[in-house]
């Protein structure tokens, strides 16, 4: 809070909720949007938390999330954030911290508060603290000096407690080394992949098996709740003729939105990437460069660039022939951008080194920097402004209609009386379905599914207008008869059986490798191919194998060449049988390079863990009693 206040006198209250874990509460009558009932909500030891305390915490959290998510803050997101519980936890924690501060002797005194106030430049005139300026700034923020100083003392006290607890976090050199070892150790594996898709055609199933599978997994095929709705859409395009835009409006928009009409230089290019890890050795760099240069020579001899990219590139764009589409200079890493933007259409670069590896770049087209003149921008600006005004007209009409429909209790009757066209599809709609004349409008569907049978909605907004609807019938979720979903059941059962067969084959291969001691021979007998990965770490998976999570961890537990995981790895729908080819510990220079950043990261982690553990401990020691449910 203190830093923000120093910099932004007029807006500091808005930003207070961002301070660490503790939300600062500004006590000012009538501030919360909720009613400030004085009833007691929670007892923490001998201290009561009131609804007023809770509501102010809720208010601040809500404002914080509104600023953070903007228009994306939906009711569903608010429910997932569980803002009610967050606010309750914050006010309880605040009491606990205040009580602990007294016991620890960490309460801020008068001199501490005075020192902080004197340090705020916003209270200074000609470089010195000015009492009149101090009072005036507080009045602008609807605060008295007494309330501000009391809050400042609480703020300082809570910061002291947090600093005291977090200050006990210590990270040893051994912990730093172990973390670097964990993140930067690299392994290489030979592996055979058993894909269930290869067993699909070998699986046979009959009607009895399908029936049993369907009965066991009935919920998988349950059709969701559906609703029969009638509605009247108010589409923006229908109101464009009711509004007019003059040249002054267009000119003002053009001047105020200059960035919309100024286009940076863009390049359309393809590339072929030969990937290098962050800790690649000098030998690996040279070998990769040689491989890249070999392909570059093929490009220069006229071989098809896209085909070479598909064959050699180690980037996600490989399957698209290395196509990167259009991009601006700031969308690429500097070395890549400098090379691409220095070329003309049709030119191919020399090898370009970036943090990702070696690139070969081919520029296919160039769009120069330009500013669209007003006369060319005018039609689009006019349409934008018309749509803005049409939205106001459409809302006014929708509002009138919604009031009438609510009074009638019937959308169709109101539509007939007000000469509006009602949409009355016979079919029932699911939550994710698309309404005719409305299109893809999740928020509209969500609102309609929140209504009871027969209820009329308020005005509902979507991208192209507004709609007022009524739920005529609700169809509860139901499991359809098997015949209706037979093809799905058949596919699912075959996929499950194919997966079972693939797992059996993978286990059999693993046993054969253990018996023979040779993955290549065992794989040849099983008719599968053995591949060898590149060197990869937990932080940088192999481009083709791309192991993460538990599957990757099973590999990194292997210690010596030839070691194998105890069971086949289940990964991305397939099964992998692998053996360790080798492992590399991070070089000493990697430890040196990563030491300070690692220590800082581990310290922050420990500090947060200590703080959360300390808060939990205070809660366990204190008697916290919920007096009323929210």
CB distance 142 to 27 below 8 Å: no
Residues 7 and 138 in one domain: yes
Structure tokens, 63 = 């404002």
CB distance 390 to 240 below 8 Å: yes
Distance CA 134, CA 149 (A): 11
For residue 15, the model assigns a pLDDT of 32
Domain assignment present for residue 621? The answer is no
Sole residue written with tokens 């004349």: 437
Q: What's the predicted TM-score (pTM) here?
A: 0.58
In CATH, what number is assigned to the domain containing residue 411?
Answer: 3.10.50.40
Sole residue written with tokens 């330009």: 370
- DSSP string for 419-469: T-PPB--SS-EETT--BTTTBS-HHHHHHHTTSPTTPBP--EEETTEEEEE
Residues 277 and 331 in one domain: yes
HEC readout, 523-575: HHHHCCCEEECCCEECCCCCCCCCCCHHHHHHHHCCCCCCCCCCCCEEECCEE
Residues 454 and 490 in one domain: no
The residue count for the chain:
630
DSSP state of 44: E
Residues 121 and 40 in one domain: yes
Contacts of 447 (CB under 8 A, 6+ apart): 457, 458, 460
Domain assignment present for residue 620? The answer is no
Structure tokens, 587 = 């070089």
Contacts of 449 (CB under 8 A, 6+ apart): 225, 227, 431
Sole residue written with tokens 């080194």: 353
Q: What are phi and psi of 468, to 5 degrees?
A: -120, 125
Q: What are phi and psi of 29, to 5 degrees?
A: -55, 130
How far from the centroid of its chain's Cα atoms is residue 593's Cα?
30
The β-bridge partners of 388 are: none
Count of C-beta atoms within a 10 Å radius of residue 197: 12
Distance CA 112, CA 555 (A): 55
b/e burial code for range 274-301 (CB count within 10 A of at least 16 → b):
bbbbebbeeeeeeebbeebeebbebbee
Distance CA 561, CA 258 (A): 62
Residues 161 and 205 in one domain: no
Going from the first residue of the chain to its last (630 residues), give the mean pLDDT of each consecutive group of 10, the final group possibly shorter.
Answer: 39 33 32 46 86 85 83 78 89 89 90 91 90 90 87 88 93 95 95 94 93 95 95 95 92 88 93 86 89 96 95 90 94 94 96 94 96 92 92 95 95 95 92 92 93 96 95 95 95 95 96 94 94 92 88 95 96 95 92 92 94 91 82
For residue 628, the model assigns a pLDDT of 82
Residues 290 and 338 in one domain: yes
CB distance 516 to 527 below 8 Å: no
**Could you give the residue ranges of the DSSP H alpha helices within 105-246?**
110-119, 131-140, 145-166, 173-184, 207-216
Distances (CA, A) of 267 to 66, 270, 309, 327, 330: 37, 10, 18, 6, 11
The β-bridge partners of 348 are: 362
Domain assignment present for residue 72? The answer is yes
Residues 299 and 359 in one domain: yes
Residues 11 and 156 in one domain: yes
Count of domains observed in the chain = 4
Residues 236 and 314 in one domain: no
Domain assignment present for residue 592? The answer is no
Backbone dihedral region for residue 28 (phi beyond 0: left; psi -120 to 50: alpha; all else: beta): beta
Domain assignment present for residue 575? The answer is yes
How far from the centroid of its chain's Cα atoms is residue 159's Cα?
30
For residue 23, the model assigns a pLDDT of 34
In CATH, what number is assigned to the domain containing residue 18?
Answer: 1.10.4030
Residues 450 and 425 in one domain: yes
Domain assignment present for residue 593? The answer is no
Among residues 201, 169, 210, 250, which one has the least CA distance to residue 482?
A: 210
CB distance 484 to 467 below 8 Å: no
Residues 424 and 395 in one domain: yes
Q: How many Å is the maximal CA-CA distance in the chain?
A: 90
Distance CA 351, CA 279 (A): 20
Contacts of 475 (CB under 8 A, 6+ apart): 225, 226, 227, 228, 428
Domain assignment present for residue 159? The answer is yes
Three-state DSSP class for residue 279: coil
Domain assignment present for residue 629? The answer is no
Distance CA 435, CA 428 (A): 10
Which H or E run includes 397? helix 374-408
Distance CA 529, CA 121 (A): 71
Q: What are phi and psi of 626, to 5 degrees?
A: -80, 115
Residues 280 and 395 in one domain: no
CB distance 410 to 470 below 8 Å: yes
For 335, the domain range is 265-368
């Amino acid at each position: 809070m203190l830093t923000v206040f120093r910099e932004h006198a007029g807006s500091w209250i808005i930003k207070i909720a961002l301070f660490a874990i503790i939300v600062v509460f500004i006590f000012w009558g009538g501030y919360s949007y909720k009613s400030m009932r004085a009833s007691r909500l929670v007892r923490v030891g001998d201290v009561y938390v009131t609804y007023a305390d809770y509501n102010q915490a809720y208010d601040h959290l809500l404002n914080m999330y509104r600023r953070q998510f903007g228009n994306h803050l939906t009711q569903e997101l608010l429910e997932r954030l569980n803002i009610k519980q967050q606010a309750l936890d914050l006010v309880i924690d605040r009491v606990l911290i205040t009580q602990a501060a007294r016991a620890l002797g960490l309460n801020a005194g008068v001199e501490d508060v005075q020192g902080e106030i004197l340090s705020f430049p916003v209270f200074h005139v000609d470089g010195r603290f000015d009492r009149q300026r101090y009072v005036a700034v507080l009045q602008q923020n609807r605060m008295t000096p007494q309330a501000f100083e009391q809050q400042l003392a609480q703020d300082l006290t809570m910061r002291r407690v947090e600093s005291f607890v977090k200050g006990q976090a210590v990270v040893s050199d051994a912990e730093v080394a172990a973390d670097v070892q964990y993140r930067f150790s690299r392994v290489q594996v030979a592996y055979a992949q058993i894909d269930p898709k290869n067993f699909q055609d070998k699986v046979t199933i009959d009607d009895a098996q399908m029936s049993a599978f369907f009965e066991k997994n009935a919920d998988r095929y349950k059709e969701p709740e559906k609703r029969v709705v009638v509605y009247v859409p108010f589409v923006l395009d229908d109101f464009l003729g009711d509004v007019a835009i003059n040249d002054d409006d267009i000119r003002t928009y053009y001047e105020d939105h200059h960035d919309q009409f100024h286009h940076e230089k863009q390049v359309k290019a393809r590339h072929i990437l030969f990937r290098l890890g962050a800790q690649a050795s000098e030998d690996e760099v040279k070998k990769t460069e040689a491989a890249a240069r070999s392909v570059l020579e093929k490009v220069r001899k006229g071989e098809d660039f896209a085909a070479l990219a598909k064959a050699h590139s180690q980037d996600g764009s490989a399957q698209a022939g290395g196509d990167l589409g259009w991009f601006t200079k700031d969308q690429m890493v500097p070395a890549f951008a400098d090379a691409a933007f220095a070329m003309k259409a049709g030119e191919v670069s020399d090898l370009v080194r970036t943090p990702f590896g070696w690139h070969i770049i081919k520029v296919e087209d160039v769009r120069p920097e330009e500013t669209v003149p007003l006369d060319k921008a005018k039609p689009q600006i006019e349409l934008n402004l018309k749509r803005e005004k049409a939205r106001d007209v459409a809302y006014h009409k929708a509002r009138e209609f919604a009031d009438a429909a609510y009074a009638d209790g019937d959308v169709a009757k109101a539509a007939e009386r007000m000469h509006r066209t009602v949409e009355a599809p016979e079919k029932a709609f699911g939550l994710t379905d698309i309404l005719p004349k409305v299109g893809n409008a999740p928020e509209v569907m969500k609102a309609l599914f929140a209504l009871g049978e027969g209820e009329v909605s308020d005005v509902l907004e979507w991208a192209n207008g507004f709609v007022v609807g009524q739920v005529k019938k609700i169809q509860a979720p139901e499991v359809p008869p098997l015949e209706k979903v037979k093809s799905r059941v058949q596919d699912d059962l075959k996929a499950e059986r194919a997966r079972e067969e693939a797992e059996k084959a993978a286990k059999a291969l693993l046993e054969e490798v253990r018996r023979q001691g040779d993955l290549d021979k065992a794989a040849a007998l099983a008719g599968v191919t053995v591949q060898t990965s590149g060197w990869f770490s937990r932080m940088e998976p192999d481009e083709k194998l791309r192991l993460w999570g538990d599957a990757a961890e099973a590999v990194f537990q292997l210690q010596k060449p030839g070691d194998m995981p105890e069971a086949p790895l289940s990964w991305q729908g397939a099964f992998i049988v692998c053996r360790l080819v080798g492992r590399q510990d991070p070089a000493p220079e990697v430890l040196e390079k990563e030491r300070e950043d690692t220590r800082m990261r581990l310290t922050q982690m420990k500090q947060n863990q200590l703080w959360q553990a300390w808060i939990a401990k205070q809660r366990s020691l204190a008697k916290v009693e919920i007096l009323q449910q929210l």
